[in-house]
Amino acid sequence: MRKFLILFIGLCLQCQVTLAQDPLFTQSVYILESINPGFSGFEDSGRTHMGLIHRTQWPNLDLKVNTEYLFWNTSVDYGPRMGYGFGVSVLNHNESKTNYNYSQVNINYAHRVYLNGGWYFRPALEVGFGLKNFAFGNILLSDQIDLNSNTIAPNSIDPSVNGLDNIFFTDISTGYVFEREERDGVSYWIGASIKHINRPNISFIEGENVPLDIFYSVHANIGFPVLLDNNVQIVANYMQQGEYNRLDIGPMVNLSDDINLGVTAVTNPAKNGLNGHLLTSINSYVGLNYDNFRFGLSYDYNTSKIGNTYGVYELSVTYLSRCRNCYTNRSRKR
């Protein structure tokens, strides 16, 4: 029984290493709040932005992962070109084989300051409350089984079991965005974020300390008009967490503000992993704008040697309210 428990604890420790990486979304280009709290209230002019995204990763493997992200935020304007945004988000992440589950609720605030030359600065703070668990209540040890009476005791007498527990923690993140007002159809922004700056302890074993790695991200976007009412945006996002890093880069085409088509090359600059691939996947996505709603669909095609995973799928729906303080209802920034 004790050998089984040691083996199980070892599995938990291994999972802490592999599952400590933050969930990432292919459609973060639509839902920038998921990578940087500075995008809370980014649409300005009293507009409300809200939505839901669901991600299914590797449905053909035992390691199938499902992730959901729900968010709501709004902007408040005051004075000439000044304002702020605030909102909430909920993340849920589940791994099928180990029944590992990670949930977190975040509250964020972003201030908007006008600089010069059409530039805005948006510093932000996010506070989250997280829970990680492996459903330890479902563990069954041999001393709980009574073959004579064909019964199962609700608890084990092994004191080692008492050291396993779910994780509750507070998570603090920050970020900022520099944005340039659109001129002649050209717009751009650059931002950065730092998540888990307080490095919360995510160990499942009482008395142990496994601090969560800080997550760094630097991201940029430039958009410009092409062919009548169409627009092209070039999006890039570099991420680093622990020894792992990732760079996503690619174009998104907006066709008359109704259809969005995009493709992203996902790269591994440090070439971490068993095979050390530089290009790990090609991610494609499409968005359909209907009235104030946008419906998104994406598919990630794996280019590494991990096997036939049937890729990664994402479905999203977002809502953007009409512009309250504008004479005409301007288009989305993203």
Q: What is the pLDDT of residue 11?
A: 40
Report domain extents, the chain.
2-216+289-320
* Residue 147 predicted with pLDDT over 80: no
pLDDT at 163 over 70: no
Say how far apart CA 113 and CA 178 lie, in whole Å: 10
pLDDT grade for 113, boundaries at 50, 70 and 90: very high
pLDDT above 90 (res 196): yes
- Work out whether the CA dihedral 73, 201, 11, 147 comes out positive or negative: negative
Read off the pLDDT of each residue in 154-177 and give the average, rounded to a whole number.
75
Query: Which pLDDT score is estimated for 20?
Result: 56
Task: Find the mean pLDDT for residues 188-212.
Answer: 90
Percent of the chain residues topping a pLDDT of 90: 56
- DSSP string across 24-83: --GGGGT-GGGT-GGGTTTT-TT-EEEEEEEEEE-TTSTT-EEEEEEEEEEEEEETTTEE
Q: What is the pLDDT of residue 323?
A: 84
Rounded to whole angstroms, the Cα distance separating 86 from 92 reads: 21
Q: Are 46 and 59 spatial neighbours (Cβ–Cβ below 8 Å)?
A: no
Residues 247-305: tens digit of each pLDDT: 999 999 999 889 999 999 999 988 776 566 789 899 999 999 999 999 999 999 988 76
Instruction: Using pLDDT thresholds of 50, 70 and 90, give the confidence band for residue 9.
Output: very low
- Cα-based torsion angle of the residue sequence 212, 134, 275, 60 in order, rounded to the nearest 10 degrees: -140
Please tell me the predicted confidence (pLDDT) of residue 96: 79
Which residue did the predictor score with more confidence, 61 or 247?
247
Which pLDDT value is given to residue 159? 52
The answer to whether residue 111 scores a pLDDT higher than 90 is yes
53-58: long-range pairs with CB below 8 Å, 24+: 53/25, 53/27, 53/296, 53/314, 53/315, 53/316, 54/314, 54/315, 54/316, 55/23, 55/25, 55/26, 55/312, 55/313, 55/314, 56/312, 56/313, 56/314, 57/309, 57/312, 58/309, 58/310, 58/311, 58/312
Whether the pLDDT of residue 119 is over 80: the answer is yes
pLDDT at 190 over 60: yes
What local confidence, expressed as pLDDT, does residue 228 receive? Answer: 77
| In the predicted structure, residue 16 carries a pLDDT above the cut 50 | no
Q: What is the mean pLDDT of residues 159-176?
A: 79
Residue type, 143: D
Give CA 248 to chain center in angstroms: 14
Bridge partner residues of 193 (DSSP) = 175, 217
pLDDT tens digits along 124-137: 999 999 998 876 55
Cα 256 to Cα 326: distance, rounded to the nearest angstrom: 20
Tell which wins on pLDDT, 321 or 151: 321
Q: Which tokens is 210 given?
A: 């496994």
Q: How confident is the model at residue 2 (pLDDT cuts 50, 70, 90)?
A: very low
Q: Which residues of 283-307 are buried (b: 16+ CB within 10 A; e: fewer)?
A: bebebebeeeebebebbbebebebe
pLDDT of residue 274: 56
Mean pLDDT of 89-105: 89
CA distances (Å), origin 297, targets 187, 263, 279, 287, 288: 25, 12, 22, 7, 9
Residue written as token pair 């998540």: 195
Helix residue ranges per DSSP H, 129-247: none
**Total count of residues recorded for the chain:** 334
Look at residue 211 in the predicted model and tell me its pLDDT.
92
Virtual torsion, Cα 255, 257, 260, 264, nearest 10 deg: 90
Better-scored residue on pLDDT, 38 or 157: 38
pLDDT of res. 133: 85
User: What are the tokens at 179?
Assistant: 């944005």
**Letter for the amino acid at 167?**
I
